[in-house]
Structure 1
Amino acid sequence: MITVKNAKSYLEEKIGEDVNDIKKVWETFKDFCKEPVEGEEDKEILFQCGVYDFTGEELFHFDFVRQFTVYEEDEYSHMEQLHCEFLFKPTDELRNFETTEWSMNYDDIDDFLNHIVTLQEFKTPLELKPIKTEIYQEEI
């Protein structure tokens, strides 16, 4: 079974060498979102994008996230987020895109995923080549 500790390596293995192929990563990520993770009560999936200068340089961040709530002995411990993030040089068009969409705001995970693919904020970057791709997991 997938655990929070092995979620990143599990997803990376599923993606394989196609880490810069946004469409393939998205398809793999969608499947991963439906798989159970040990101890997970609710699936918390996030799609977010926008131009930010988190690194000191303005970049367009295009990010698929699965969030995990971690419990130890039935007590809340912390949250972790597993990111599939694509970075782009901001263009005038990309500067117009900023969104944060959580799966918890939809009836089910399929409704959420089907909605995401209709967004222009999602469609446009799919056709571009990222300057960097990162898959990472962090405690928040």
Structure 2
Amino acid sequence: MIKVSDAESYLKDKIGDKTNNVVEVWEIFKSFCREPVEGEDEFALLFQCGIYDFTGEELFYFDFVRQFTVYEDEEYSRTEQLHCEFVFKPTDELKKLEASEWYFDTDGDMENFFAHVENLKEFQIPLKSIPLQLNIYQEVI
């Protein structure tokens, strides 16, 4: 079973060199979200996108996130987020898009969340573009 501490390297290995294929990476990410992770007591999923200038340059970020809530000895320890983040040049069409859609493990069917995200224009429109890069990273929040 995957551990929270190994989630980033596990996802990177699953994605391999498919770093420009957003649809294929999304399918791999969904498959990863269905897998249990040791040490994860609660989890959430997030799809978010929009124009941000994290690097000093405005870029369009298209981000799939799996959030892990970790307890140790029944006490809350930390929350970690594993990002699968595509970065695009901000075209006029992409500049109009912004979304933040959450799913929590208490919300019911995860497949409904995936279908909901896939039907959003904020998800569909960027699929027509080629990303500049894919960043996969895990952080404590």
The interval holding the TM-score normalised by the smaller chain is: over 0.9
Q: Tell me how large the CA RMSD over aligned residues is.
A: 1.3
Contact 2:50-2:95 within 8 A present in 1 as well: yes
What does residue 38 of structure 1 align with?
38
Structure 2 counterparts to residues 27-66 of structure 1, below 5 A: 27-66=27-66
Q: Secondary structure at the match of 2:18?
A: coil
Partner of 1:115: 116
Q: Deviations over 1:51-83 (max 9, x none)?
A: 011111101000000001122222111111000
**Structure-1 residue corresponding to 2:80:** 80
Q: TM-score, normalised by structure 1?
A: 0.95
- Give the drift of 1:87: 0.6
Inter-partner Cα distance in structure 2 for 1:75 and 1:29:
29
Q: Answer 1 or 2: which has greater strand percent.
A: 2
Q: 1:60 to 1:96 in 2, by over 3 A?
A: same
**2 CA distance for matches of 1:7 and 1:19?**
17
- Residue aligned with 1:85, SS: strand
CA distance in 2, matches of 1:106, 1:126: 27
Moved beyond 2 Å, runs of 4+: 39-43, 104-107
- 2:57 is paired with a residue whose SS is coil
Q: 1:106 to 1:91 in 2, by over 3 A?
A: farther
Aligned-partner residue type, residue 2 of structure 1:
I
SS at match of 1:103: strand
Return the alpha-carbon distance in structure 1 between the equivalents of residues 138 and 82 of structure 2.
4
> Match for residue 24 of structure 1?
24
Residue deviations 1:59-118 (CA, integer Å, cap 9, x gap) = 100000000112222211111100010111111111111010001284321110011100
Aligned to 1:13: 13
TM-score with structure 2 setting the length: 0.94
Contact 1:33 1:43 in 2 (8 A): no
Q: How many residues align?
A: 140
Uncovered stretches (5+) of structure 2, i.e. residues with no partner? none
- 1:45 counterpart SS class: strand
Shift of 1:15: 1.0
